[in-house]
Every structure is written in C-alpha cells, then in structure tokens.
C-alpha cells in the first residue's frame, strides 16, 4: 500500500458497550411497521441487572464486509444480516463508508426467550454509534435500537421502562419511568430449555394480526399499561401481579390462535406456572410472565425472592435458575472498567 493511501487511511477507535436484557411486564406483540418496528401497542419492562451483553465495535478501512462474532463464533447469516442493517443506519448517520467488526458476548443463554436480541441490539447501537464518532442522546439511541429488535429500545434506559408506541419512527421510543432503586423487584428465571426456539419473535410479530384476539388485546392495552405503570409507581405487588399475568396470557392466546399458530410453552412451562399459582395461594407474593420461549419469569419483591428461587429450582424440568434485580441503562465500558473486569 502506498504511503499516500496509508496517510489517508481513516483510523477509528473501537467502542465497547454493555446492555441488560429486559423482561416485559406489558408485552409488545405485533408491528404496525415491520421494518421500523413501530409496535401495535405500548409496553413496559424491567431491566435485568446482572445479565448483560457486551459488544465491541470497530470500523475499519479496507474490511470487505461487516463481520459479526457472537459468543466467539461467526454468527449465522440471518443474525449477521440484521446486524449489518443496523450498521448501515449508523453509516448513513455518521457518513462513514467503512465496514465493521462486531464482537458480542452474552453472559446468559442466547435464543431461549431471555431477550438476547434486546440486550444485543441495545449494546450494538451504543457501541456502533460511539465507534463511528457519534454521541446520540437516549431518545435517539432508543429509536435506533428499536430498528434492530423492537424490545431493544427498552434496553437503552435503566430501571422500569415504558416504550411509548408512538405510531411513527420519530415518536416511538422508550423512557425510564422509575430508576432501578425505586423497587427491588426480583426476576427469578426458570430455564427449562437451552435449545434455540422454533419461531423467532421477529417473525411472530408479522402474524399477530391473523389472530382474532389481537385487536381486542391491542384495544385494551392502554388500560393495562395504566394499571402496570401505577402499580410500579406505588410498589403495589398485588396489582402488578394481576395485570402482568393477564397480559402474558393475552399475548400467548394471540400466539396460539394466529396463522400459523405459535406454541412457545413446553409441558414444564405449565408445571411452573401452576407451582407459582399455588405459592401465591399459600400467601407468597409471586407472579409469572412468559416471553417468546418456554422459560418462566417469576417476579417477586426481594424479601421473598430467596425462598421463591429455592422452590422454583426444585421443580422437575427446571434446568437452571437465573436471578436478576432491576438493572441500569446501556452504557459505554471505559478502558478502566475493562481493566477492573480482568482483575
Ligand atoms: O423485540 P422482539 O422482536 O424480540 O420481541 C419481543 C417479544 C416479547 O419478548 C415476547 C415481548 C416483549 O415485549 O418483550
């Protein structure tokens, strides 16, 4: 390579970001715009502290294509294309024409209904914009993350988060409605399967409208959002439990009545739900919610969570239990914190 070319070679510093997955308390299911992921209804979630995706992005002159390495392996074509699509948006915003190397790692199982795409696209949006020399505010980052995976917009802010459906690209983004310290709610995740699920949620959204029940679910969403938001703000567990279970059941009713029908539950899923119902009848504050996978998220106030985690771990078919308290927002990892991590 000539000296002149070397002289003009653009040097970009890499950037590393971490983001937490989130558990939806009021679910997003169905898109108005499947490309931009403008949702049919608003949703509310809690950031899952302790679980995270760490993503490093480096734009490089001369790279023939984007390269996406997930958990130390070259990612499959579908995932690589989704990552490239988001990088393309970043290239358009920043004016760079370089391709990027993206290295991402989850500290929790990928593709089993623990919203790995949410944490993944949130971390990617933050790391890629920073690596391209941009400094976006929270709203712009949330909108960008949304285009990768809808629920990723909720992994940009921290604590308890509401995604305002908005109806347009400009108006559809997530905000924090309460910081992580507001309420020590614990998500005890009962993992029943570590296999990749059959139908990814990104495809599920496109068939939600084929269920007769979707319009009723969407129409009633403002009432459930209000109940959930108020229960969080008042730290009212009973009220929260009622609306969280109803909302999860409504989403799964839509899933199994769509065309094609989508069954995410396994026999173990039902067994855990029934165990949670019995615990609640016996006076323990705990409720369930299930995403697009067979695992069950058992939510409870911190005071009861140790006992509940023990009881859930003892249910047959539960292969692993993960525990998460409310987490913070997506953030850039500094060189110093990388150093601390190695110690
Ligand atoms: O963002 P996606 O395409 O992974 O969709 C998320 C769908 C659910 O997890 C089932 C619900 C939600 O609101 O997170």
**What is the arithmetic mean of pLDDT over 153-157?**
98
Q: For residue 4, count other CB atoms closer than 10 A to its CB.
A: 8
Q: What is the pLDDT of residues 176-221, one digit of tens each?
A: 999 999 999 999 999 996 665 568 888 899 999 999 999 999 999 9
78 alpha carbon – ligand 1 mean position (Å):
18
3-class secondary structure, 285: coil
Q: What is the pLDDT of residues 161-170, one digit of tens each?
A: 999 999 999 9
Q: What is the pLDDT of residues 11-27, one digit of tens each?
A: 789 999 999 999 999 99
The set of residues, in sequence order, having a beta carbon less than 8 Å from that of 194 and lying 6+ positions away, is 109, 112, 319, 320
111 alpha carbon – ligand 1 mean position (Å):
12
What pLDDT, on a 0 to 100 scale, did the predictor assign at position 203?
Answer: 87
Is the separation of the CB atoms in 206 and 31 below 8 Å?
yes
Classify residue 154 by its DSSP letter: G
Atom of ligand 1 nearest to the CA of 23: 14
Residue 6 has pLDDT above 60, yes or no: no
The residues pairing with 301 across neighbouring beta strands, listed in sequence order, are: 185
For the structural domain made of 15-333, what CATH number should be given? 3.30.230.10
| Measured distance CA(137)–CA(127) in Å, rounded | 13
What pLDDT, on a 0 to 100 scale, did the predictor assign at position 201?
Answer: 86
**Greater model confidence, 10 or 305:** 305
For the chain, strand residue ranges (E) read: 15-19, 22-26, 31-33, 38-39, 43-47, 53-60, 67-70, 73-74, 99-106, 160-164, 173-178, 185-191, 287-289, 296-301, 320-324, 331-332
33 alpha carbon – ligand 1 mean position (Å):
15
**What is the arithmetic mean of pLDDT over 44-67?**
96
148 alpha carbon – ligand 1 mean position (Å):
12
Is the separation of the CB atoms in 140 and 170 below 8 Å?
no
Q: Are strands 331-332 and 320-324 parallel, antiparallel or unpaired?
A: unpaired
Q: What are the Cα distances from residue 242, in Å, to 2, 24, 187, 224? A: 68, 14, 16, 10
| Measured distance CA(314)–CA(336) in Å, rounded | 40
Is the separation of the CB atoms in 287 and 243 below 8 Å?
no
From 29, 122, 250, give the residue whose CB has the most ligand 1 atoms within 8 Å, as the site to mutate: 29
Is the separation of the CB atoms in 192 and 268 below 8 Å?
yes
Long-range contacts of 300-304 (CB under 8 A, 24+ apart): 300/185, 300/186, 300/188, 300/237, 301/183, 301/184, 301/185, 301/186, 301/237, 302/184, 302/185, 302/186
Which residue in the block uniquely carries the two structure tokens 């309420």? 183
Mean pLDDT rounded to a whole number for the chain? 92
**What is the arithmetic mean of pLDDT over 28-52?**
97
Q: What is the pLDDT of residues 93-148, one digit of tens each?
A: 999 999 999 999 999 876 555 767 999 999 999 999 999 999 999 999 999 999 99
Classify residue 211 by its DSSP letter: S
Q: Which residues does a 6 A CB cutoff place in the pocket of ligand 1? A: 24, 27-29, 43, 115, 117-118, 149-151, 201-202, 205, 291-292
Domain ranges in the chain are 15-333
């Amino acid at each position: 390579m000539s000296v002149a070319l070397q002289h003009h070679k653009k040097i970009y510093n890499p950037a590393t970001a971490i983001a937490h997955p989130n558990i939806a308390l009021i679910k997003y299911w169905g898109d108005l715009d499947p490309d931009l992921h403008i949702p049919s209804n608003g949703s509310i979630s809690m950031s899952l502290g302790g679980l995270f995706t760490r993503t490093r992005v480096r734009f490089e002159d001369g790279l023939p294509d984007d390269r996406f390495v997930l958990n130390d392996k070259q990612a499959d074509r579908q995932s690589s294309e989704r990552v490239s699509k988001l990088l393309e948006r970043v290239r358009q915003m920043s004016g760079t024409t370089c391709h990027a190397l993206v290295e991402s790692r989850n500290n929790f199982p990928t593709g089993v209904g623990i919203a790995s795409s949410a944490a993944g696209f949130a971390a990617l949006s933050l790391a890629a914009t920073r690596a391209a020399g941009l400094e976006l505010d929270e709203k712009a980052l949330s909108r960008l993350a949304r285009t990768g995976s809808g629920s990723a917009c909720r992994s940009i802010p921290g604590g308890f988060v509401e995604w305002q459906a908005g109806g347009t690209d400009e108006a559809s983004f997530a905000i924090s409605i309460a910081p992580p310290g507001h309420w020590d709610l614990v998500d005890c995740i009962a993992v029943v399967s570590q296999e990749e699920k059959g139908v990814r949620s990104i495809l599920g959204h496109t068939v939600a409208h084929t269920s007769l029940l979707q319009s009723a679910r969407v129409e009633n969403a403002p009432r459930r959002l209000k109940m959930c938001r108020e229960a969080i703000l008042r730290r009212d567990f009973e009220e929260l439990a009622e609306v969280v279970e109803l909302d999860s059941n409504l989403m799964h009713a839509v899933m199994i009545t769509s065309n094609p029908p989508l069954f995410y539950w396994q026999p173990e899923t039902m067994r855990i739900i029934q165990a949670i119902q019995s615990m609640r009848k016996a006076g323990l504050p705990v409720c369930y919610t299930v995403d697009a996978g067979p695992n069950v998220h058992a939510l409870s106030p911190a005071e009861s969570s140790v006992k509940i985690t023990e009881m859930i771990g003892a249910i047959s078919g539960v292969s692993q239990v993960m525990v998460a308290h409310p987490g913070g927002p997506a953030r850039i990892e500094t060189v110093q914190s990388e150093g601390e991590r190695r110690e």
